[in-house]
Amino acid sequence: MTTQTLHITGMTCDHCATAIEKALNALPGVSAHVSYAEGIARVKASAANNTQQLLDTVQAKGYGVSLAEDDTSTPVAAGSGDGLHVAIVGSGSGAFAAAIKAVEHGARVTLIEGGEVIGGTCVNIGCVPSKIMIRAAHIAHLQAHHAFNGIPLNRPRIDRAALVDQQQARVEELRHAKYESILESNPSIHLMRGMARFKDATTLMVTHKDGREKSVQADRILIATGASPAIPDIPGLSDTPYWTSTEALSAEQIPEHLVVIGASVVALEMAQAFLRLGAKVTIMARSVFLSKEDPALGEELVSVFEEEGARVLLHTVPDSVTHDGKEFILPSKAGEIRCDQLLVATGRQPNTDRLDLAKAAIETGPNGAIVIDTHMRTSVPHIYAAGDCTDQPQYVYVAAAAGTRAAINMTGGDAALDLSAMPAVVFTDPQVGAVGLSEQQAQAQGIETESRTLPLENVPRALANFDTRGFIKLVAEKESGRLLGVQVLAPEGGEIIQSAVLAIRNQMTVKDLADQLFPYLTMVEGLKLCAQTFTKDIKQLSCCAG
């Protein structure tokens, strides 16, 4: 009898492992055990069974397979040749974008994931479930608060558990379609389960769930470990059952009174969603709403939230937090606040503290973010990083773009990531959309600017919708008229902003923008109207004036 270890790629669940194990054990003289968690098969076979027969059996089931030389060797995918070996720590959008592109360029990839599921934050506990929840809350709000005569208002009864079931079903569907199925169909990407840390600049140590360790050596390494909620140092907070966005998104009950600590993207999106689903909501902001954006955006959002019934406390954080078994108690300069649920949404912290980056001499910033250049290179030439664990903006589309470019560079190419026209969207209602420089940012760089702000009451589509909350603001270089930045607060502001991105990317002037054809009765027409205000009084123009 001989004992061999096979590395298997493409498994997505224990059922896959069971199917492979059954196929191997059907061979005469073979005793096999397949572990989905480890991605391996341990096979005892008689001399009559050659190695190729074992490999062929696994491949016939639709999985990638290779023979391990020993228990600490790095797997080499069957059919991948002698291509560059890339190890990627993480399995989110940046990691998968890099893996796919690296394989396209002839590399073989080992993807290392320490969590229970693959796919990272966005699909599992971030973008996808939050936007589903926000949309559901928007539908509920419209039923009770629309502005159209002749359609009765109705305050719906919310079945939060049913909403969560639907939400999570879509999450699982997208995780399979965009992540698990890629592993199933791409044998050059090997998934290894376990927590990775650096042993040195060329070696990763991976600790499996059962405590076993395995070393992985690679020609190139990409760190794409994402970020986690940052928890403020408020006395007593850590001893209470507070929520982060993860718990809030999966909660099957709507709180009677929710206090939200934070006033940036996640805090405001979650606060408004719970408000519209029926909770009483209090927001405690360390400074102001959206403190990194143009002040006008935050100021108007405060008015929107207060009109919808939220209590907004600016420049106010709890002095301490306690929980008496039933309620949270938060003393502050605004007085003592009591609530049945507390959501902490004060930003996200890069997941780098368990990687032993110092052993590889990888430079990090004060908050643990990995410092990278425009080519995603770290301070160590053959080690790259992408996504929320770096000092780049924490957006999923930035992570994916960075992962793709990192893979190109790791495999001999030359690709940079230009973030000068990077859009940002906050999915409140109205939505915030921003790109380029705000007026304050441009002036801080010594650029003389000219700007115009167009209230939505001047946009025909907003009038037709009976919803004129918000504005569009254009910031231009005064001498040339070149568009520098756009800030939008409007329903579907996230859809409007991409046209502004293209205008800035192509260095258009406000005159260029004003001269474009925009379809009438669209919200994006507001960009043209705002551009026209640099030279005209649009109140004196007819409808669709060119």
pLDDT in tens, 143-184: 999 999 999 999 999 999 999 999 999 999 999 999 999 999
1-15, 61-75, 279-293, range with the lowest pLDDT? 61-75
Residue 125 has pLDDT above 70, yes or no: yes
pTM: 0.84
Active site residue 63: yes
Max Cα distance, the chain (Å): 91
Active site residue 16: yes
Residue 276 has pLDDT above 50, yes or no: yes
What does the pLDDT read at residue 516? Answer: 96
Average of per-residue pLDDT across 499-526:
97
Q: The domain 2-67 is classified under which CATH number: 3.20.20.150, 1.10.4160.10, 3.40.50.20, 3.30.70.100? A: 3.30.70.100
51-55, 128-132, 266-270, range with the lowest pLDDT? 51-55
Strands 203-207 and 195-200: antiparallel
Q: What is the pLDDT of residues 290-338, one digit of tens each?
A: 999 999 999 999 999 999 999 999 999 999 999 999 999 999 999 999 9
Residues in the chain: 546
Choosing from 11, 339, 376, 410, the catalytic residue is 11
What does the pLDDT read at residue 1? Answer: 62
The sign of the CA dihedral 244, 249, 255, 257 is positive
Amino acid at site 79: G
Active site residue 13: yes
What does the pLDDT read at residue 171? Answer: 98
Higher pLDDT pick, 269 / 536: 269
Gap between the Cα atoms of 128 and 308, Å rounded? 25
Q: What is the pLDDT of residues 46-95, one digit of tens each?
A: 755 678 888 889 888 877 888 764 433 333 333 332 379 999 999 999 99
Element (H, E) at 156: none
Place of tokens 């052993």: 359
Residue 29: pLDDT band with limits 50, 70, 90 = confident
Architecture of domain 237-346: 3-Layer(bba) Sandwich (3.50)
Q: How many helices (H) and strands (E) does the chain have?
A: 16, 26
Q: Write down the mean pLDDT value for the chain.
A: 93
CATH code of the region 76-229+347-419: 3.50.50.60
Q: Is 527 in contact with 500 (CB distance < 8 Å)?
A: yes
Active site residue 122: yes
What does the pLDDT read at residue 431? Answer: 98
What does the pLDDT read at residue 42? Answer: 87
Beta bridge partner(s), residue 5: 42
Residue 194 has pLDDT above 50, yes or no: yes
Strands 311-313 and 280-284: parallel
What does the pLDDT read at residue 545? Answer: 60
DSSP 289-346: TTTTS-HHHHHHHHHHHHHTT-EEETT---S--EE-SS-EEE--TT--EEESEEEE--
**Integer-rounded Cα radius of gyration of the chain:** 27
> Which residues are CB-neighbours of 514 under 8 A, at least 6 positions away?
528, 531, 532, 534, 535
Q: Is 478 in contact with 448 (CB distance < 8 Å)?
A: yes
Choosing from 36, 122, 242, 389, the catalytic residue is 122
Q: DSSP secondary-structure letter at 196?
A: E
What does the pLDDT read at residue 60? Answer: 84
Query: CATH topology of 76-229+347-419 equal to that of 424-540?
Result: no
What does the pLDDT read at residue 18? Answer: 87
The rounded percent of the chain whose pLDDT value lies above 90 is 83
Higher pLDDT pick, 22 / 62: 22
The sign of the CA dihedral 175, 178, 183, 189 is negative
What does the pLDDT read at residue 476? Answer: 98
Peptide bond into 430 cis (omega under 30): yes
Q: What Cα–Cα distance (Å) separates residue 510 from each residue in 446, 467, 473? A: 20, 26, 12
Residue 22 has pLDDT above 70, yes or no: yes
Residue 364 has pLDDT above 70, yes or no: yes
Q: DSSP secondary-structure letter at 435?
A: E
Residue 224 has pLDDT above 60, yes or no: yes
Domain ranges in the chain are 2-67, 76-229+347-419, 237-346, 424-540
Amino acid at site 435: V
What does the pLDDT read at residue 71? Answer: 38
Coil, strand, or helix at residue 219? Answer: coil
What does the pLDDT read at residue 546? Answer: 66
DSSP 253-269: S--SEEEEE--SHHHHH
Fold annotation for 424-540: Enolase-like; domain 1 (3.30.390)
Average of per-residue pLDDT across 1-7:
80
Coil, strand, or helix at residue 131? Answer: helix
Amino acid at site 102: A
Q: What Cα–Cα distance (Å) separates residue 195 from each residue in 113, 205, 209? A: 7, 8, 8
Choosing from 36, 63, 179, 242, the catalytic residue is 63
